[in-house]
Structure 1
Amino acid sequence: MTETTAPENTPQTTIVFLLFPGITQLDFTAPAQALSRMPGAVLAGVAASRAPIATDSGFSIVPTHDFADCPQADILCVPGGHGVAAALGDAATIAFIERQATGAQWVTSVCTGAFLLGRAGLLQGRRATTHWAYAHLLPLVGAEAVDARVVEDGRVVTSGGVTSGLDFALTLIGRLRGPTVAQAIQLAIEYDPAPPFAGGHPNRAPQAVTAGLKARVYDAAAAHMEAALRA
């Protein structure tokens, strides 16, 4: 279903999402929800096999394609998650990204998916963003870290942590189908953030909250990611 009437000559746009064990489901499902409503959009969720992919939320996602039968992407999107560190060492996954990126109009990532783009050589010399807790690692893949929710550098679009995937999707819809279509989709999914706490980024969160979260989760997670990137 789309929120606007598509002209008869609206081109089909194939949007391929890479799936892998340990994916953060919202990195995938948030932009997928917005992009699926874009006129002409055809989505594919692709993994090494069609076996269910375990997410970080306690449920699994069933891919629509595997690497062998995946259509060529017009938009390639690589989500993130704690499973990225393992995926960095998987030659078939990196080769798939390289192969798809060659023919894609747009190459994109959400959260730590940026490091998979980087491992495939797609961020060398480019400006990029990722989840705030890992941004200091972007130079390890040749990228210049930018503190922003969405960063466009040529045909490469990277977005920050988790919920930034919606911002990236709406930005790209605006590029492809115009701002009126993007605004209609934003309205349809009622994306009108009014969070109960003004603390979704370290620039605004209480220092104690940021320090506690880093100590409990992200110091170790970033060190694990750094080790995988240097391997």
Structure 2
Amino acid sequence: MTDNSNNHAAGKPLNRAGHARRDALKFGSVATLGAILGGGALLGHATPVLAQAGSKAELAPNEPLNILIVNYDGGTLLDFAGPSEIFHRLPNTNVRYASLNGGNVTLEFGVVYGKTERLADIEQTDLILVPGGSDLSVPMRPEYQAQIRRLAEGAKHVTSVCNGSLVLAATGILNGKRSACHWAFINKLSEYGAIGVPDRFVEDDNGRFMSGGGVTAGIDFALRVAAKMRGQQAAEFTQLVIEYDPAPPFHSGHPRDARPEVIAMVDKELPGASRGLARVPGVR
């Protein structure tokens, strides 16, 4: 898996139909999207709703937005793949991926993600995103922490998904700040001076700090970030394009809903999880 591009698709030239589809999926109107999908019946009554102005965007349409996603060995793919899918579809937005030494990183389950940039080569970014992982040993190293802290201090927005908030908190940047985290690790945040909040999306300092809960919360998180940066209509358009219409088959995504025997299974795998104090390699 390799992706180090901005929002313009790489590879062989698109034909006319390909250009039309790509542009519609990124910037086009709902009417254009409806035509591509095969008619208005699929859209039903959604068009008038999506045509509303929605919330005011922080950025003007012509203002660029630079987003940096931090990668590292042991990271969880979905923590940043979900947000990446959304961010790449926003107008005038550039998404970059970086790791300490650049090149390939080996994520959880042996997934190799390639062609990342070197963190030291990136002077600054508007928004930094630190995803979580099953092993935080690498991003907790002093040299990694120094680069993340440098970029976070200069960013307009500092964000995380899942237990990536522990990585940010360890740098000191979240001291006294409210933050989300995966439910199994959320109470570890206080050991680094942050305030854990058991919500799917949390923001502090008028949105300078934004965070998503565990793994799949990255999609909800990214849509909220999109609405803040580019306005509600842009976020709703992106949600529709990717058909984010969750309907889980089981109500077992959080301890408040899961059956006791299922919670016990997770506690066996991650001791202390039900108390929000599960341990992850790299975190003391």
TM-score after normalising by structure 2: 0.75
Residues 121, 163 of structure 1: alpha-carbon distance in 2 compared, 3 angstrom cutoff: same
Residue of structure 1 equivalent to 2:181:
130
Q: Which amino acid aligns with 2:181?
A: T
Over residues 43-86 of structure 1, what are the superposed CA-to-partner deviations in whole Å (9 max), with x where a residue is unaligned? 11100122311111332001431122225211100000022144
Residue of structure 1 equivalent to 2:14:
none
Q: Tell me if the contact between 1:85 and 1:224 (Cα under 8 Å) persists in the aligned partners.
A: no
Is structure 2 residue 247 aligned with structure 1 residue 180?
no
Q: 4+ residue runs of structure 1 moved beyond 2 angstroms?
A: 1-9, 217-225, 227-230
- Give the paired residue count: 228
Q: Which amino acid aligns with 2:261?
A: A
Is structure 2 residue 186 aligned with structure 1 residue 148?
no
The structure 2 residue matched to 1:46, chosen from 76, 98, 101, is 98
Q: Which amino acid aligns with 2:251?
A: A
**Structure 2 segments unaligned to the other structure (5+ residues):** 1-21, 30-58
Q: Per-residue deviation at 1:223?
A: 4.9
CA-atom RMSD, angstroms? 2.2
SS in 2 for 1:94: helix
Q: Distance in 1 between matches of 2:61 and 2:182?
A: 38
Q: Tell me if the contact between 2:181 and 2:214 (Cα under 8 Å) persists in the aligned partners.
A: yes
The structure 1 residue matched to 2:254, chosen from 175, 189, 201, is 201
Q: Which amino acid aligns with 1:164?
A: A
Q: Which amino acid aligns with 2:180?
A: T
Matches within 5 A, 1:1-231: 3-5=26-28, 10-88=62-140, 90-154=141-205, 155-219=208-272, 223-225=278-280, 228-230=282-284
Q: Which amino acid aligns with 2:222?
A: A
SS in 1 for 2:203: strand
Residues 178, 127 of structure 1: alpha-carbon distance in 2 compared, 3 angstrom cutoff: same
Q: Distance in 1 between matches of 2:116 and 2:283?
A: 29
Over residues 167-198 of structure 1, what are the superposed CA-to-partner deviations in whole Å (9 max), with x where a residue is unaligned? 11100110111100000000111111001101
Q: Which amino acid aligns with 1:3?
A: K
Larger Rg: 2
Residue of structure 1 equivalent to 2:3:
none
**Structure 1 segments unaligned to the other structure (5+ residues):** none
SS in 2 for 1:23: coil
Q: Distance in 1 between matches of 2:224 and 2:216?
A: 13
Q: Tell me if the contact between 1:111 and 1:130 (Cα under 8 Å) persists in the aligned partners.
A: yes
Q: Tell me if the contact between 2:102 and 2:119 (Cα under 8 Å) persists in the aligned partners.
A: no
Q: Tell me if the contact between 1:133 and 1:218 (Cα under 8 Å) persists in the aligned partners.
A: no
